[in-house]
Amino acid sequence: MCGFAAYVHPDGRSPDTEWLAAAADALAHRGPDDSGFHVEPGVGLAFRRLSIVDVASGAQPHAHEDGTVWITYNGEIYNHLELRRELEERGHRYRTRSDTETIVHAYEEWGEACVERLRGMFALALWDRARRRLFVARDRVGIKPLYYARADGAFVCASEIKALFAFPGITRAVRPAGLVEHLTLRYTAAPATLFEGIEKLEPGHSLTVAAEGTRRRRYWRLEWEPKLEIDDDAALEQLEQRLTESVRLRLMSEVPLGALLSGGVDSSLVVALMSRVIQRPVRTFSVGFDQPPAAGQIYDERPFARRVARHCGTDHHEIVVTARDLERELPALVWHQDEPVSEPAAIPTYLVSQLARASVTVVLTGEGGDELFAGYPKYAAEPLARLMSALPAALRDPLLDGGARRLPFAFRRLQVVARSARFRDESERLAAWFAGLAGDERARLLSPQTRCWDHVAADAFRRVLDDSAARRPLDRMLDADLRLWLPDDLLMKMDKMSMAASIEARVPLLDHPLVEWAARLPDRLKVERLEGKVLLKRLARRLLPREVVDRRKVGFTVPLAPWFRGPLRDLLVDALLSPTALARGLYEPQVLRGYVEDHLSGRRDRARELWTLLTLELWQRTFVDHAPRRAVAWTPPARVAAG
Active-site annotation, residues: 2
How far, in Å, CA of 132 to CA of 37, rounded? 19
Q: Which of 360, 369, 372 is nearest to 278 (CA)?
A: 360
Q: Identify the helix (H) or strand (E) that includes residue 440.
A: helix 439-445
Question: What's the length of the chain?
Answer: 643
How far, in Å, CA of 121 to CA of 78, rounded? 8
Q: Which amino acid is at 509?
A: L
Beta bridge partners of 72: 125
Pairing of strands 120-128, 62-63: unpaired
Apex 237 CA angle, 494 and 527, nearest 5? 60
Residue 219: which residues within 8 A CB-CB, separation 6 or more? Answer: 112, 113, 115, 116, 137, 204, 205, 206
How far, in Å, CA of 208 to CA of 253, rounded? 31
Cβ proximity of 385 and 431 under 8 Å: no
How far, in Å, CA of 139 to CA of 145, rounded? 9
C-alpha dihedral (463, 465, 466, 470), degrees to nearest 10: 150
Q: Which of 531, 431, 526, 532 is nearest to 485 (CA)?
A: 431
Ramachandran category for residue 629: left, alpha or beta (phi over 0 → left; psi -120 to 50 → alpha): beta
Exposure class string for 368-404: b at 16+ Cβ within 10 A, else e = bbbbbbbbbbbbbbbeebbebbeeeeeebeeebeeeb
How far, in Å, CA of 125 to CA of 117, rounded? 16
How far, in Å, CA of 231 to CA of 209, rounded? 47
Residue 83: which residues within 8 A CB-CB, separation 6 or more? Answer: 77, 102, 106, 117, 118
Which of helix, strand or coil describes residue 544?
coil
Residue 178: which residues within 8 A CB-CB, separation 6 or more? Answer: 188, 192, 193, 194, 195
DSSP letters for 390-412: TS-HHHHHHHHHHTGGG--GGGH
Q: Which amino acid is at 407?
A: L
Which of helix, strand or coil describes residue 8?
strand
Residue 506: HSE in the Cβ half-sphere, 13 Å Cα cutoff: 29
Q: How many C-beta atoms lie closer than 10 Å to residue 292's C-beta?
A: 11
Cβ proximity of 49 and 68 under 8 Å: no
